[in-house]
Amino acid sequence: MFRFRRQVYCDNNATTQVSKTVRKRMREVLAHCYANPSSPYKMAHQAAGILSDARERLAKAINAPPQTILFTSCATESNNTLRAIAPLLSDKRRAVLYNPLEHPAMLETLFHLREQGFSMIPLTPDRLGRIRPEEVGQSWREDVGLLVCMAANNETGTLYDIKRMAGIARAHGALFFCDMVQALGKIPVDVQDCGVDYASFSAHKIHGPKGVGALYIREGAPFAPFMLGGHQEEARRAGTEGLHNIAGFAAAADEIPHLLSMADELRLKRERFVAAIREMFPACVINSPAADECQPGTVSVTFPGTANAVVMGQLDYCGVSVAAGSACNTGEDAPSHVLTAMGLSREEARATLRISFPHALSDKDLRYVIAVFGEVLSGKGSRVTVLQPSQLTEEVLFAPDIFIIDLRRTPKSEYLLKPLPDSKQFPFFSIGKHLHEIPKNRPILVTCETGYDAPVVAYYLKRKGYTRLTFLMWGILGWKLAQPQLYARFARQHPGVEDDSTHTQPGKLS
Ligand code: PLP
């Protein structure tokens, strides 16, 4: 009957929740180890010890010798080191063979190199983003000095046969740079076994903190520092190390075996999601490969005829967070370069969503996500969602498009509780006469003073063909008790009067 609104984060490729052990470790380091690891006294030696311990732990997670690990500020920086590495190539080998589906952190780096005189040769992905190693061999030119291919694609989850590609690069005497950001924690990563020369990683994709990444540099691979300044990181990367972040990264790396142990189950959940979506919407198109060639929790789906920005907003309203493409491109109007390079039209790319499930997705969460997709994309909205008082946050109150109905039984002068901002007051007993004032195409939040009337009216509206319905449990009274500060800030005495002293728009609080 009723369905309680849940929050299910399905954008794990954008970032991940910082794990408890990571938070604990970071707090310890922040509280007790503030010395600069490069300084010459005891406290600094302790900090330097934490740094080298973290290096060993991350190295162990990817099977690398510790001295091959360079800590950076993020994977974007790790990829940008190519700007200093590429000029070390011989004058005769200044062509770069690359995967055009790379993350912008790599693509922009490559475009910068092109401006410096390097020639760029894109590989040709198929409709599911795959690039066969044979294609690398066939596209090879004598002047190629560098091969660039990610291990897993952030938008589709497509996996690449890095080991064979590295073998081809080695056979041609070329270097291989691999962005392994989306592989770590999702599939086993062994940099020595796959034979890459350089590999980039990011802590926040494996439940670590934001603002720290790493670069693996194979022993003997040419390297020139990108960041100039002090002699940190064996003079390979200047800048005082963010020790708390690095310690957090190492703590997250320790948990990789646990993440990998959940991968099979996650794969099955992804399959269940795909099967359910296909059954509900036979016209949808799955842009990700089958399980054996894909990250366990990622799927890219096109729902022809829809606009992903709108669908994302509707899913978000129901508590399901998904993405349209790379998080770095959110807010841009351009369709995803990944999808268009795979052969989708601009319209198809704009009708595509990326769902990247977290490892810990519960069965209940998955069922909820499937139900919400069904309702949002069928436009039926077969259920009414319940919002608990603690869930009525500023974001919900001021959500774009939201239409708030505030049911009243008494005239204005007898209101016990102030109305919500921008809400529309309707008399409970004659709501039927006001249907023409209630828009059908907007999400509707039904509220009342004490919680009795809102569910009744929400279900009445559902019968009248309204689809995106939510009601506030326990009414405005419950909300006032649960969130007195929000009530004081945002509830208004007189509907329609904007200059009430207690009413302040978010972000404009003095
Ligand atoms: N490479 C890939 C494949 C990514 O998915 C991302 C982030 O989304 C990055 C690089 C950039 O990582 P960071 O946020 O650490 O700069």
Interatomic CA distance for residues 57 and 35, integer angstroms:
21
The CB of 76 under 6 Å from ligand 1? The reply is yes
- Answer whether residue 188 shows pLDDT above 50: yes
Please check whether residue 214 is in contact with residue 61, taking contact to mean a CB–CB distance below 8 angstroms.
no
- Answer whether residue 499 shows pLDDT above 80: no
Protein residue whose Cα sits closest to atom 8 of ligand 1:
14
The CB of 181 under 6 Å from ligand 1? The reply is yes
DSSP letters along 245-304, please? HHHHHHHHHHTHHHHHHTHHHHHHHHHHHHHHHHHH-TT-EE-S--GGGB-TTEEEEE-T
User: What confidence score (pLDDT) does residue 400 get?
Assistant: 83
What's the 3-state SS for 52-78? HHHHHHHHHHCCCCHHHEEEECCHHHH
Protein residue whose Cα sits closest to atom 12 of ligand 1:
75
Share of the chain above pLDDT 90, in %: 77
* Tokens at 430, concatenated: 């004659």
- Gyration radius (Cα) of the chain, Å: 27
First to last CA, the chain: 43
Q: What are the residue ranges spanned by the domains of the chain? A: 8-15+262-377, 20-254, 385-504
Q: What is the mean pLDDT of the chain?
A: 91
Dump pLDDT digits (tens) for 71-129: 999 999 999 999 999 999 999 999 999 999 999 999 999 999 999 999 999 999 999 99
CATH architecture of 8-15+262-377: Alpha-Beta Complex (3.90)
- Where helices occur in 130-283 by DSSP H, the ranges are 133-139, 162-171, 191-194, 232-235, 243-254, 256-261, 263-280
Share of the chain above pLDDT 70, in %: 93
- Answer whether residue 43 shows pLDDT above 80: yes
Q: Look up residue 253 and give its amino acid.
A: A
Examine the residue annotation and report whether 10 is marked as an active-site residue of this protein: no
Strands 285-286, 119-122: parallel, antiparallel or unpaired by DSSP?
unpaired
- Answer whether residue 421 shows pLDDT above 70: yes
The CB of 74 under 6 Å from ligand 1? The reply is yes
* Residue given tokens 């519960």 in the structure block: 362
Strand partners for 299: 355
Question: Which of 154, 204, 300 should be mutated for ligand 1, with most atoms under 8 A from CB?
Answer: 154
Q: What is the CATH number of domain 20-254?
A: 3.40.640.10
Give Cβ neighbours of residue 498 (< 8 Å, ≥ 6 apart): none
The CB of 199 under 6 Å from ligand 1? The reply is no
CA dihedral 55, 59, 65, 67 (to 10 degrees): -30
Q: What is the CATH number of domain 385-504?
A: 3.40.250.10
Interatomic CA distance for residues 315 and 372, integer angstroms:
7
* Tokens at 59, concatenated: 């190295």
More confident residue, 252 or 313: 252
Dump pLDDT digits (tens) for 342-364: 999 999 999 999 999 999 999 99
- Answer whether residue 508 shows pLDDT above 50: no
Q: Is 207 helix (H, G, I), strand (E, B) or coil?
A: coil
Give Cβ neighbours of residue 255 (< 8 Å, ≥ 6 apart): 19, 21, 22, 206, 207
